[in-house]
Every structure is written in C-alpha cells, then in structure tokens.
C-alpha cells in the first residue's frame, strides 16, 4: 500500500531507525490521511517497542509530534525525559528492530502469513518485518538494509 508522507523503517533520526516512521504515522493520523489498517498498531508493535526502549509513553511523543515539533526535537525530548542512549544502545536497538522476524519466533509463522496476506509477489525475499513493511509500501529493494547501515 503506497501512502504519501509515510517514512520508511530504515530512515534514521539522530542515528535511530524507525523513529521517523512512527512520527510520520502520528502526523498522517492527525491529518486524517493514515489508512484505517494502520490504526490498531499506533502506539503498539514497533511504536510500543520504541517508546519502551526510550522509557517514554507513546502519548507524550504523540503530543509533541502533533504540536509541530520536528522528529529530531521529539527524539531529543525523549532522550532528555526518558533515557539517554549510548552509541552501543542505539546499535542494539537498530540491530533488533531491523532484524525482527529473521531467525526468531516470527520466522515460521508471522512472516509467511504476512507475505500471504499482503500478496507480495517478491515475498521470498522478505525475511524481516522491516522487509515486509518496505515491500508492502513500495520502497523495498534487495540492498536497502545494507545502505541503511552505512
């Protein structure tokens, strides 16, 4: 599903994957432009994991995003009011998030089911949740993950 204005999983904010995507979903939802299929996962899934990792509630991030703060400003607020992340903690977060679904509890069930539900023709290349999201939204290409780590 192509959604104008939604950011990809690999886009970095102050070195952190996914945060920009969460903020873009909040903005789109606030503007009435986020498809209903996305509503159930707002503040859940990767959004929830990100908030818990940063030790800040989703609603606090949502308030700041909707107040017009830029992604970097919102993340800086999180780092000041939740927990400050070291370079190693950012590496751990990025590694976990970008590899979710690869050789873990989602490998044999969730990933194949989502490939089937999304009707992805190139689904054989999807090995992570990020792959599925990027494929579904029309951004995915085989070396995407490699470029994101540069």
Boundaries of every domain in the chain: 1-99, 100-150
Q: What separation in angstroms does the CA of 51 have from each of 78, 119, 139, 143?
A: 9, 30, 25, 28
Q: Residue 141: what pLDDT?
A: 85
Q: Residue 120: what pLDDT?
A: 75
pLDDT digits (tens, 9 = 90+) for 57-110: 999 999 999 999 999 999 999 999 999 999 999 999 999 999 988 887 877 888
**Does residue 123 register a pLDDT over 80?**
no
Place of tokens 């951004």: 139
pLDDT digits (tens, 9 = 90+) for 19-40: 999 999 999 999 999 999 999 9
Q: Residue 67: what pLDDT?
A: 98
Q: Residue 20: what pLDDT?
A: 98
CA dihedral for 26, 30, 33, 34, sign (positive or negative): positive
């Amino acid at each position: 599903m192509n959604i104008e204005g939604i950011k990809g999983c690999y886009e970095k904010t102050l070195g952190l994957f996914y945060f920009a995507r969460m903020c873009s979903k909040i903005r789109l939802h606030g503007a009435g432009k986020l498809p209903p299929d996305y509503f159930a996962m707002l503040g859940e899934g990767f959004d929830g994991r990100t908030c818990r990792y940063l030790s800040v509630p989703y609603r606090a991030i949502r308030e700041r995003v909707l107040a017009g703060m830029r992604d970097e400003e919102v993340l800086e607020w999180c780092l000041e009011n939740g927990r400050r992340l070291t370079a190693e903690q950012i590496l751990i977060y990025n590694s976990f998030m970008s590899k979710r679904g690869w050789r873990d509890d989602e490998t044999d069930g969730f990933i194949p089911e989502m490939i089937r539900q999304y009707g992805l023709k190139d689904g054989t290349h999807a090995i992570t949740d990020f792959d599925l999201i990027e494929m579904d939204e029309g951004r995915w290409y085989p070396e995407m993950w490699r470029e994101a780590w540069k």
